[in-house]
Structure 1
Amino acid sequence: MAVPQERLPQSSIRIEGETGPGHESILTPAALAFLADLHHRFNDRRLDLLAARRTRQARYDAGELPDFRADTLAIREGRWTVGKIPAALQDRRVEITGPVERKMIINALNSGAKVFMADFEDSSAPTLANQFDGQINLRDAVNGTIGYTSPEGKTYRVGHDPAVLVVRPRGWHLPERHLTVDGEPMSGALVDFGLYAFHNARALQARDRGPYFYLPKLEAMEEAALWHEAMAAAEEALGLPAHCMKATVLIETLPAVFQMHEILHALRERAVGLNCGRWDYIFSYLKTFRGHRDRLLPERGQVLMTVPFLKAYSELLIQTCHRRGAFAMGGMAAQIPIKGDEAANEAALAKVRADKLREVQAGHDGTWVAHPALVPVAREIFDQYMPSPNQLNVARADVQASRDQLIAPCAGTISRAGFDNNVEVALRYTAAWLDGLGCVPIHHLMEDAATAEIARAQLWQWLHHPGNPAGGTPAGDGLEFTDHAPIDFALFDQALAAHTHRLRASTHPGAARADDAAALLATLTHAEQLGDFLTLPAYDRLA
């Protein structure tokens, strides 16, 4: 069902692609006019900030190291705190995340978690249907009418005490090609934020529920300031009280860890906390140091939150947040239940418990899980060690995280199994994403765009290490596996072909897009420079 173009406002906003059932109730002329205004007011600034990212990365590629900003020392040393945090967000001990799919929303709201982060970003593939169906689903969740009946006839409804809803729009870097203004693609971030705010902000504000947002992929305080201005403009346009829109920022890029005080300050009256987005943070470390061959990371399974640079990052985040009266949220547990193997399942749950124990004892105010079955596991740990709603009293004055500690590489090895797993994860996730799925269970872990980015970035890093010429074999200081066999492009090509054949013949998500995914992964891995994001070139091939 297409929305007639003649009914759209006179701002040259257009819908590109065939809309589906119910989309006209989201893409109303008034809503589209609201989006067009956001675009006209903020898109040029967004593009300028993205250009600043590229300039900054070019300096890193040339050998510069990220560091704390000299021009914002007064903010870091100043005595200030964030604004008042709403009662609904005072206790965030367990948060669950997931895509904006209807059944998943209901299960997440019913999971027993304090907060559900509905995700338009790393766990969603931005097809037209996913984006606008997701807006319908969230609207129905907010107004209390959401329901779902499975093909088997099972009915799902939201219970009496649902989790508090927080929405994560896409990052500033992602376009939305299905909505254009004057022929220019809109910002995915402004589309997700704008449609959700337009249709739900008044109802949420009437119930003292925000609206609340998680902000991803920020690299600088100026990017946070742009979010503040966009939210202020939306509040004014919708007749809402100033600063009723609240934000938690994911610190999931290496540049951002050096501007945590500044990011909170830019969002001062609407900031409620920062989150350790660990998987994207590891990917950002790889990307930031793509030109620094002395900062090699071992295989993903060895890059745990206990390694020095990640420990320093998480502890500095806690110290920063609590100094400013904001909450310090822990990271994601990616494990999912292992059915039919009790020993393996208990081993996986033991890892979750250990991770959550580390977080709560360090001073985090809450944590993330990806599966409803992990909510009681994480809650038990936080209930035991955090009987109060939060730990703002834990100052962590002992933390002294220097620039060098925050960027120190970690020791480790690369095994054949670790290399092969990266190829498989990157391929299978990319294929599923191209087929419209943004989160995929692989080997009992819930993989999303962030974890797939680690896999493909590590492959690039290992293969482009000095001595690993394209198509050749390592020489001199080229990398080796733990059995001393060389890591080279021939091995990558062989592994990719084998996994592509297996995926193509399987019933796994994305099997039909195996060849497309393999071609994209091969191009990105052989390229002379590590690509900024997998999802940007993949977007052009999206179903």
Structure 2
Amino acid sequence: MSAVMTQWQEPRPGQRGPGEGIELSGRAAGQEQVLTPAALEFLADLHRRFEPARQARLAARRERQAFFDAGGLPGFRADTAAIRAGAWRVAPLPTALLDRRVEITGPVDPKMVINALNSGAKVYMADFEDSTAPTWANLIAGQRALAAAVAGTLEFAAPDTGKRYALKPFEDQAVLMVRPRGWHLDEKHLRIDGAPISGGLFDLGLFAFHNAAALAAKDRGPYFYLPKLQSMEEAQLWNDALEHIERELELEPGSIKVTVLIETLPAVFEMDEILHALRTRIAGLNCGRWDYVFSYLKTFRAHRDKILPERGQVTMTQPFLRAYSELLIQTCHKRGAHAMGGMAAQIPINGDEAANEAALAKVRADKLREVTAGHDGTWVAHPALIPLAMRIFDERMPTPHQQHVLREDVLIIAEDLIKPSFGTITRAGFEGNVEVCVRYLAAWLDGSGCVPIHWLMEDAATAEIARTQLWQWLHAPSLFLDDGTPVDFALLERALIGLPSKFADRAALPGGAKLDEAIAMLDELTHAPTLAEFLTLPAYERID
């Protein structure tokens, strides 16, 4: 690793010289435009101020998980009862975030950025997290693409067809929101004083450094989605960092607005507290339901009475998921924040009209459920779903949002949020988890974090559910498929051995060259005596 140095100046006593303690190991096209000496100093300052608190929060997560592993259950906090009982509300929402009825999400490559901003959705969440494999090349290309989009100069020419893509006029674009990585992820290519910087601070800080002033001038924030929070203290840490960024970049206090994904089981018990910690800048909470299922599995990894059925049976009609959604709506609307719905991951099934219509029927039912329950907006992964989702919300939500729907009929207690689900594990469900996890992981290791599998646009959340279910099923005593077959490592071995034969042409498979590595990784993770916290942590060590 080599230190990145700015022009040297005589430091004052006790002051670091420019570039001191900054080590940059990554090399990617155009990174000099993004990682300027001033930007690196800005990131180094963020790291030095907030890294101790980040590590304290991660240690608190480990302590909390140990409590759950010992048989403890999550619940509402006694020490914050006054916050839940108070009559406070969050700050008023900016005009650009009043109507968010349909949002599109996806990675940060130039073509996706252009198509998403031009898509007709109200918001585009540019994702450095679950739908981006954090290779150094991807991260730098994403930052460059977003900066060009903010400047209005982003263009893209498809290398295979030569087709050119350009942005619509600013007033016709979706509102840009950016999702950085969560607190648990490091950025190994940038080390400050010998330690890797937080991936989240790297993503958010770098984007804000280059684009905040331009976005503020357009009354567009900057705006962010914050992922994987588990407590009000983690929300407070983000608020402290954002306040510091506003001061350093001379932004109006509270001008950075955020939406928090409620995608961990511990966080659902602290939604009031999270809103309160971010009350000067929060715009809403989002039902990150796939990651929420993953978190339920991980939280209860040692609880044999909380084993979930196969992934396809864990839908929003399951009692614990319905309770989570309804409590989120009630909590947000009580506090003047938006309650955003979940993802529709379907993509068009070309050439099979009946299958395509069946898939769209599922989307219609899901979006109708959300708008009827009181959600203020929803997510889609593919532009083709925007008109369908928009039509459903337009018909049922003529106002910009539904904060007037207070859902005072909802009476949720802690037990409602942790009820076990009833269902089965079929052979197809077991083998499907194996296939989806291996295929996604192979693509991720090859640099792609957004992968079409069986006409669904999958990101890391699906792979996390799949491998966590496999681990939990295989380590549970006396578990059987619905046909009586024991769920054991012999069943896993047969599924893994048979998997490569399903793909006649590996070259046509996203990440096909990494298939054997992905199989070996899943085998190792499922045999491990302790469930790995995140699939992406060991996988990150394998990518550049």
Structure 1 length-normalised TM: 0.96
Are 1:6 and 2:8 matched, yes or no? no
Look up the equivalent residue of 2:329 and give its one-letter code: I
State the partner residue of 2:515. Answer: 514
**SS of the residue 1:321 aligns to:** helix
Contact 1:61 1:291 in 2 (8 A): yes
Name which of 275, 299, 304 aligns with 2:315.
304
Q: CA separation of 1:3/1:360 partners in 2, compared to 1, >3 Å: closer, same or farther?
A: farther
Sequence identity (%): 65
Shift in Å, 1:47: 0.7
d(CA) in 2 for partners of 1:23 and 1:3?
15
Counterpart in the other structure of 2:139:
131
2:162 alignment partner in structure 1: 153
Q: State the 1:4 CA deviation.
A: 7.7
Matches within 5 A, 1:225-374: 225-374=236-385
Q: Deviations over 1:351-390 (max 9, x none)?
A: 0000000000000000000000001110010000001000
Letter paired with 1:434: L
Is 2:182 the partner of 1:171? yes
Structure 1: which amino acid aligns with 2:520?
A
Pairwise CA distance, 1:503: 5.0
Unpaired stretches in structure 2, ≥5 consecutive residues: 8-17
Opposite residue 21 of structure 2, the aligned amino acid is S
User: Residue 90 of structure 2 aligns to which amino acid in structure 1?
Assistant: V
Q: Secondary structure at the match of 2:241?
A: helix
Q: Where does 1:70-89 land on structure 2 (aligned, <5 Å)?
A: 70-89=78-97
SS of residue in 2 equivalent to 1:71: coil
Question: 1:111 is paired with a residue of what secondary structure?
Answer: coil
Query: C-alpha distance in 1, partners of 2:273/2:213?
Result: 30
Give the aligned partner of residue 12 of structure 2: none
Q: Which of 207, 213, 217 is residue 206 of structure 1 equivalent to?
A: 217
How far, CA to CA, are the matches of 2:271 and 2:113 in structure 1? 30
Q: Which amino acid aligns with 1:250?
A: L
SS at match of 1:7: coil
Shift of 1:5: 2.7
Q: Which runs of 4+ in 1 moved over 6 A?
A: none
User: Once the 2 structures are TM-superposed, how far is the Cα of residue 497 of structure 1 from its aligned partner?
Assistant: 2.0
CA distances 1:277-309 after superposition (whole Å, capped 9, x unpaired): 000000000000000000110001100001100
Residue pair 1:300, 1:418 contacting (<8 A) in 2 also: yes
> 1: CA distance between counterparts of 2:4 and 2:40?
11
Show the counterpart of 1:46.
54
- Report how far residue 519 of structure 1 moved: 1.4
RMSD: 1.2
C-alpha distance in 2 between matches for 1:230 and 1:179:
19
AA aligned to 2:107 is P
Q: Distance in 2 between matches of 1:522 and 1:450?
A: 19
Counterpart of 1:132 in structure 2: which amino acid? I
Measure how far apart 1:498 and its partner are.
1.8
Counterparts of 1:498 and 1:196, CA distance in 2: 44
Shift of the alpha carbon at 1:500?
Answer: 3.8
Name which of 106, 119, 137 aligns with 1:111: 119
1:539 matched to 2:540? The reply is: yes
Q: Determine the C-alpha separation between the residues in 2 that align with 1:504 and 1:65.
A: 46
Shift of 1:502: 4.2
CA spacing shift, 1:504–1:290, aligned 2, 3 Å: farther
Equivalent residue, structure 1, for 2:76: 68
**Aligned pairs for 1:411-422 within 5 A:** 411-422=422-433
SS at 1:43's partner residue?
helix
Q: Distance in 2 between matches of 1:310 and 1:90?
A: 26
Residue 375 of structure 1: aligned partner? 386
CA distance in 2, matches of 1:322, 1:440: 34
Q: Deviations over 1:183-217 (max 9, x none)?
A: 21110000000100000000000010000000000
One-letter identity of the residue aligned with 2:540: Y
Structure 1: distance between partners of 2:20 and 2:132: 29
Q: CA deviation at 1:514?
A: 1.1
Q: State the alpha-carbon separation in 1 of the partners of residues 138 and 28 from structure 2.
A: 10
Instruction: State the shift of 1:515 in Å.
Output: 1.6
Shift of 1:6: 3.4
* Paired amino acid for 1:360: V
AA aligned to 2:163 is K
The structural deviation recorded for 1:3 is 9.4
One-letter code aligned to 2:141: D
User: Secondary structure of 1:185's partner?
Assistant: strand
Distance 1:395 1:20 in 2: 49
SS in 1 for 2:79: helix
Give the letter for the 1:342 counterpart: E
Amino acid at match of 2:499: H
Q: 1:218 Cα deviation (Å)?
A: 0.1
Q: Are 1:32 and 2:43 an aligned pair?
A: no
